[in-house]
Structure 1
Amino acid sequence: MTGAEASEAEPEIRILGFEDLEGWGEDDHAAALAAFLETCGDLRDVDWSALCRVAQDATDARAFFELFFRPVMIDDGQDALFTGYFEPELDGSPVRTPRYRYPVYRMPPEAKVTRPWLTRRDILTSGVMEGRGLEIAWVDDPVELFFLQIQGSGRIRFPNGRYVRVGYGGYNGHQYSSVGQELVRRGTYQPHQVSAQVIKNWVRRNPVDGAELLYHNDGYVFFRKVDHVPAHKGPLGAMNRSITTMRTVAVDPAYVPLGAPVWIEKQGRSPLNRLMIAQDTGSAIKGAQRADIFYGTGDAAGREAGRIRDTGRMVVLLPIQRAYAMLPDPLQ
């Protein structure tokens, strides 16, 4: 069966027992419950909202999950793939200085109505953004700013120790083009050699050619200030609530309901068996067994997230009646 045929087929649904989840008894279920409570209040479906009310008074987290949920394995025929993501943290300033001279822009009004708008090169070299007060902050590294746009959100640390958090504010309408794939096309690297850190190092070693490489991506992301999220909490996910380090996972909502608990059994160099909450999405996260694990904020989290590309399996925890309703009708 080809990948296309597998993706079009009806997924296979199996209900498991909690005893089938490797390492279930050793996890910190209270930490998972705390993450669940971050977003369950926004779930409007009657089954989920009822469970959220119960969760608020739960004194035994493991018993709560075992009593009200059933583990559901959803297999769409695609191999499982776990990756990692993080929230970048950049050094910056609220004003331009000789060190901090690369602007983090809000979206200009005309970019919202003209689609596609200007390319990355035009935005940064034509002067169209200057003198309009569109700068949220200024940072000291154009490469880190480029990857901030790829992540879609991050924190900027000012010299006085204050932080400003920025979130996705829109884009210019041009399709994203991978600069990593461009380096492979040029013969600079082999596919297995390319990573975010490799790209950053190459651009810094080759500043002129590096600037041209970044222009290869016509897509450009604008930001907005996210003032209502405290600096000590995680960035906003797809549910517009703070996500939790190593307890939030980005999923494909076509298969996994946002807000649902999911059991992760990730293999690879750093195996991970953990109960997480599906609180985010991503354009590259497609399929029943595809997930992106949130590793936190800053460089260390970024390095760890960048190393993750592992197999395993993901099991969704659904309210009991929902779980059994997903099973195929034996009479059909």
Structure 2
Amino acid sequence: MAPEARIKILLKTSATALCAGVVVLSSFSLGAEAARRHYRNHHHHHPPQLPAAPLRALPYPQLPLPFEIPGAQYLPLAWADVKGWSDDDHLAAYKTFRASCRSINAQNGAAEPKAEPKALGGSLSEPCRAAKPLEITDDAKAKTFFEENFAPLRISRLGEPDGFVTGYYEPVLEGSRTQTEIYNVPVYRRPSNLFVRGYKQDSVSLPNKGPVYRKIGRRKLVPYYDRGEIEDGKIAGRGLEIAWLKDPTDLLFAQIQGSARIKFDDGSSVRLNYDAYNGYPYTAVGRILIERGIIPKEEMSMHKIREWMAQNPDGAKELRRQNRAYIFFREVNLSDKDEAVGAQGIPLTAGRSIAVDKSLHVYGTPFFIEGELPIESERAKTPFHRLMIAQDTGSAIIGPARADLFFGAGQDAGRVSGRLRHPMHFVMLVPKGLDPSVRAARLPVPDPRPTEKIAKLFPQTDPSKGMTKPAATAGSADNKNETIATAGPVPLPVPRPAIEPASEPRRPVKNRPHRQQ
């Protein structure tokens, strides 16, 4: 066979073998990939897929504001969006607000103004200053005052759409100045051995939260007596009795309300206000009756509690002692026409004053409360939309949208307030001085040119002239004590000269004879 034919056959055979090899390798690769995929699917070596975190939606967003109330959520509103705002008696609310302003202005004028760490801080001072010279006598002007000085802000507890209200009043009770067979329940003033850290023992109206101690000797402090121990006579016979009542249930409800009027047989009376408590947390006796299934929740009221206690004297004693908190009173000099004094130190206004959580809110803050309440009867749903002023507090009032509505004194006020336990909408009126844009608009605009006093200290010349005044000569009498500050064009720096570096002369190389190997 010719050599050329042999070469052609050899090349053809080699090409066929190469193609077969490629096919075999490809099949091996595909098989290996299929095997790996099968192994992963059956042996779960692929990374697990994490479920997406669910989004938690709130009734309305938490908005950035120039203040913060712990545990609260807010929604800024326009006045047109405040339901029932135009239907209220704004003049009555304005008069109540001005009463709070008297206390606020007195604190601001003190030698050492009280620092206010709460959300609104001292911002109520500006609306109070605006209200001081105004003698508003009609509702329209009072409404305009609130709209010009405040911004409405709907507020509630985080995750809840509404707030919650209850009612309170000033009981009017029959009593005696001395102990008798009928009047044998003592009403105590604050004992001298009751001690609260950070307060003097002669301070008026000690706080209703926090630890309270009984002082033994000079240094030893122990927790104070609870309700059961006090009812059993631990502080009896020490001259602490202000008056005596018929029924321990009357005393319990006077302590819950924080004030009372006691009328004596001779026609005289005494007004009592909260002064201190024994340091134990308040426990609602109505909640215990609901939990025990004695009174259904939808039927719970102050009247129902009184009715059950009157029918079950032994059970009433045990129920009272479930609430270990005990209130001590002080006498206040008020006429029968005056309402009870709130924690702000001013007489309350029936239907306009509320008690709030004093750890969150500032006394004097206006709240517009809207909803339906059983004012006329237990089954009634009376529309309620009223601007009320925070002037009091209570140990059971906890939360950013929680209020106790004050309804006055006597049995009628007690019947209305005793059946209130209802959710309501809360709109807090925030002073416009807290709005950053309003605050910036009130800042003084700087002067475009320096004042004459500053100009004398720092004389300036017109730099556009670019001329320097000649220096004063030593012999010039006019320029003897005169200093002249001049300004001229700033000279540019001189560029570095382009000088080539001098080259060093090369050393001559000596020719040395090579050492012969």
State the TM-score, normalized to the length of structure 1.
0.85
Correspondence 1:70-219 to 2 at 5 A: 70-77=151-158, 78=160, 79-112=162-195, 113-114=213-214, 115-126=222-233, 128-219=234-325
Structure 1's 23 and 73: CA in aligned 2 closer, same or farther, altered over 3 A? same
- Distance in 2 (CA, whole Å) between partners of 1:288 and 1:107 is 30
3-state DSSP of counterpart to 2:427 = strand
Q: Which residue of 303, 308, 312 maps to 2:415?
A: 303
Q: 2:405, 2:329 → 1: CA distance?
A: 23
More deviation, 129-138/141-150:
129-138
What is the DSSP-based 3-state SS (H/G/I as helix, E as strand, rest coil) of the residue aligned with 2:306? helix
In the alignment, structure 1 residue 265 sits paired with structure 2 residue 373:
no
CA shift in 2, pair 1:274/1:325, >3 Å? farther
Q: 1:315 to 1:177 in 2, by over 3 A?
A: closer
* In structure 2, C-alpha distance between the alignment counterparts of 1:51 and 1:277, rounded to whole Å: 17
Give, as a single letter, the amino acid of the residue that structure 1 aligns with 2:81: D
Give 1:101 shift: 1.8
SS at match of 2:270: strand
Residue 253 of structure 1: CA displacement? 4.5
C-alpha distance in 2 between matches for 1:158 and 1:224: 17
Equivalent residues of 1:58, 1:64 under 8 A apart: no
Q: Is the contact made by 2:98 and 2:128 (CA closer than 8 Å) also made in structure 1?
A: no
**Percentage of pairs with the same residue:** 38
Counterpart position of 1:330: none
Equivalent positions of 1:231-246 (< 5 A) are 231-246=336-351
In 2, Cα distance between equivalents of 1:265 and 1:323: 25
Q: Which has the larger radius of gyration?
A: 2
TM-score if structure 2 supplies the norm length? 0.57
1:8 Cα shift?
A: 6.2
Say which SS state the counterpart of residue 193 (structure 2) adopts.
Answer: helix
Q: RMSD between aligned alpha carbons?
A: 2.8
The range that moved more, 46-55 or 131-140, is: 46-55
Compared with structure 1, are the counterparts of its residues 324 and 302 closer, same or farther at alpha carbon in structure 2 (3 Å cutoff)? farther
Select the structure with the greater relative contact order (CA < 8 A; seq sep ≥ 6).
1
Supply the AA of the counterpart residue of 1:260. T
Greater strand fraction, Structure 1 or Structure 2: 1
Cα separation, partners in 2 of 1:8 and 1:96, compared to 1, 3 Å: closer
- 1:96-145 Cα shifts (integer Å, max 9, x gaps): 2332221101122223341422222222223x333322111111221111
Is 1:66 paired with 2:172? Answer: no
Matched, 1:16 2:123: no
Q: 1:35 to 1:71 in 2, by over 3 A?
A: same
Q: Distance in 2 between matches of 1:193 and 1:9?
A: 30
Q: Which runs of 5+ in 1 are unaligned?
A: 328-332
Contact 1:40 1:49 in 2 (8 A): yes
Secondary structure of the residue aligned to 1:311 is strand
User: Which residue of structure 1 aligns with residue 103 of structure 2?
Assistant: 42
Q: CA deviation at 1:272?
A: 0.9
Q: Is the deviation greater in 160-169 or in 113-122? A: 113-122
Cα shift at 1:185? 4.5
Structure 2 equivalent of residue 30 of structure 1: 91
Deviations, residues 297-326 of structure 1 (Å, cap 9, x unaligned) = 122111101222223312222332225679
Q: How does 1:247-326 map to 2 (within 5 A)?
A: 247-253=352-358, 256-268=361-373, 269-323=381-435
Deviation at 1:249, TM superposition (A): 1.6
Q: Distance between the aligned counterparts of 1:10 and 1:309, measured in 2?
A: 20
Q: CA deviation at 1:76?
A: 4.0
Q: Which moved more, 1:93-102 or 1:176-185?
A: 176-185
Q: Displacement, 1:165?
A: 1.1
After TM superposition, give the deviation of residue 14 of structure 1 in Å: 0.6
Q: Secondary structure at the match of 2:194?
A: helix
8 Å Cα contact 2:341/2:347 also seen in 1: yes
CA distance in 1, matches of 2:323, 2:426: 33
1:53-100 deviation per Cα after TM superposition (whole angstroms, max 9, x unaligned): 144x33432232233333222344323222211112211122223322
**In structure 1, distance between residues paired with 2:90 and 2:224:** 47
Do the aligned partners of 2:157 and 2:163 also contact (CA within 8 Å) in 1?
A: no
Q: Distance in 1 between matches of 2:239 and 2:173?
A: 21
Give the conservation status (yes or no) of the 8 Å contact 1:72–1:323: no
